């Protein structure tokens, strides 16, 4: 059986973590996985529709198609699966326009109504899909990581030698501007502390020593594990409620405690005082970073608990069989991600 995944672009992070990661479980059920970028021309669409008609299943990832191409794809597909891990019915937090978008909401509604199965990245997204489609078509499948790929942080540095890390794409770099006040306040109290940014670009944060670690698939896990504390910030915006916390899961898989603001999925993934620290204001951020930087035993304790949390609830081995079952049309038993 063939599964055709229509994706944003080859190597896209959403495809790598939410579909390609489960390839071996798909194969165990007799599926071969083929990925194609979503076309932008009529000619490209005609080619993809021919491929869709020859496949046993088609997975549309994130994209909200025009009514015409959605109708054509639905007509061509024996089984259509929609996978999304962002609040696609809103404009994102970088937009200068209001978050609410009637046109995006209409396309989202049309997509989930015609899909045979919907895999949503968190409970909020699943609830939004349930407003327009039967619940028995919807499954919450979180973004997951393979903890075995992440070396464990050694936690040997203390004080000003402590290393912070942020990982993400260029499009999410503006979130560090929102976290700037807390990072600068921490740097003022711990002169010399570094923020390692694993990305293809580096932010300019006055008062904060930023070290760029160019992202690559081969080195991202090691770059995260080479730090001591992971940091994440979600803007106060409706788009944030759809985020699935990949960077936080990566930190936790490497045994790092996390400092983050209590927004969106952060409050689900981070158990305050057990796997990390939630901090809302610059002074709270500075206090949290200083506490973890100077208290080595606490950092090790929270980091170990964070690793265990990921293994028990967000490990790839837990969700791979469930994803493959959904692709095949089965209704798997629910898995806990709380």
72 pLDDT higher than 70: yes
Q: Domain coordinates of the chain in residue numbers?
A: 2-144+316-327, 148-313
2-144+316-327 CATH, one of 3.30.70.980, 3.30.360.10, 3.40.50.2000, 3.40.50.920: 3.40.50.2000
12 pLDDT higher than 70: yes
How are the residues of the chain apportioned to helix, strand and coil, as percentages rounded to the nearest 5? Answer: 45, 20, 35
CATH number of 148-313: 3.40.50.2000
Q: What is the pLDDT of residues 17-63, one digit of tens each?
A: 999 999 999 999 999 999 999 999 999 999 999 999 999 999 999 99
Provide the H-helix boundaries in 66-116. 67-76, 102-114
Q: What is the average per-residue pLDDT within 182-203?
A: 95
Q: Does this chain's domain 2-144+316-327 share its CATH topology with 148-313? A: yes
Angstrom distances, CA of residue 280 to CA of 32, 59, 70, 208, 285: 45, 38, 41, 19, 7
Three-state SS letters, 79-90: CEEEEECCCCCE
The one-character DSSP state at 239 is: G
**CA 221 distance to own-chain centroid:** 15
Cα–Cα distance measured from residue 176 to residue 254, given in angstroms and rounded to the nearest whole number = 21
The pair of structure tokens assigned to 321 is: 């069989």
The pair of structure tokens assigned to 135 is: 């619940």
Dihedral sign, Cα of residue 210, residue 214, residue 215, residue 219: negative
């Amino acid at each position: 059986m063939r599964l055709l995944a229509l994706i944003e672009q080859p190597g896209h992070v959403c495809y790598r973590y939410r579909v390609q990661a489960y390839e071996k479980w798909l194969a165990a059920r007799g599926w071969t996985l083929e990925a194609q970028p979503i076309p932008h021309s009529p000619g490209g669409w005609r080619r993809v529709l021919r491929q869709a008609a020859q496949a046993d299943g088609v997975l549309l990832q994130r994209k909200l198609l025009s009514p015409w191409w959605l109708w054509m794809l639905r007509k061509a597909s024996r089984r259509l699966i929609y996978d999304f891990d962002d609040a696609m019915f809103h404009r994102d937090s970088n937009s200068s326009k209001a978050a609410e978008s009637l046109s995006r909401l209409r396309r989202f509604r049309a997509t989930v109504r015609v899909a045979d199965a919907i895999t949503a990245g968190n409970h909020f997204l699943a609830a939004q899909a349930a407003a327009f489609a039967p619940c028995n078509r919807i499954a919450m499948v979180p973004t997951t990581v393979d903890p075995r790929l992440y070396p464990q942080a050694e936690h040997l540095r203390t004080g000003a030698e402590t290393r912070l890390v942020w990982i993400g794409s260029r499009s999410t770099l503006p979130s560090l501007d929102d976290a700037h006040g807390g990072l600068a306040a921490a740097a003022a109290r711990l002169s010399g502390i570094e923020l390692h940014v694993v990305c293809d670009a580096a932010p300019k944060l006055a008062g904060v020593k930023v070290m760029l670690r160019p992202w690559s698939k081969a080195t991202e896990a090691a770059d995260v594990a080479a730090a001591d504390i992971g940091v994440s910030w979600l803007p106060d915006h409706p788009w944030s409620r759809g985020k699935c916390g990949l960077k936080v899961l990566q930190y936790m898989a490497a045994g790092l405690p996390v400092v983050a603001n209590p927004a969106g999925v952060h409050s689900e993934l981070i158990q305050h005082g057990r796997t990390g620290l939630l901090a809302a204001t610059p002074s709270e951020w500075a206090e949290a970073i200083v506490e973890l930087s100077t208290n080595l035993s606490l950092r090790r304790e929270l980091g170990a608990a964070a690793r265990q949390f990921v293994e028990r609830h967000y490990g790839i081995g837990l969700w791979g069989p469930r994803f493959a079952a959904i692709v095949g049309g089965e209704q798997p038993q629910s898995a806990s991600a709380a």
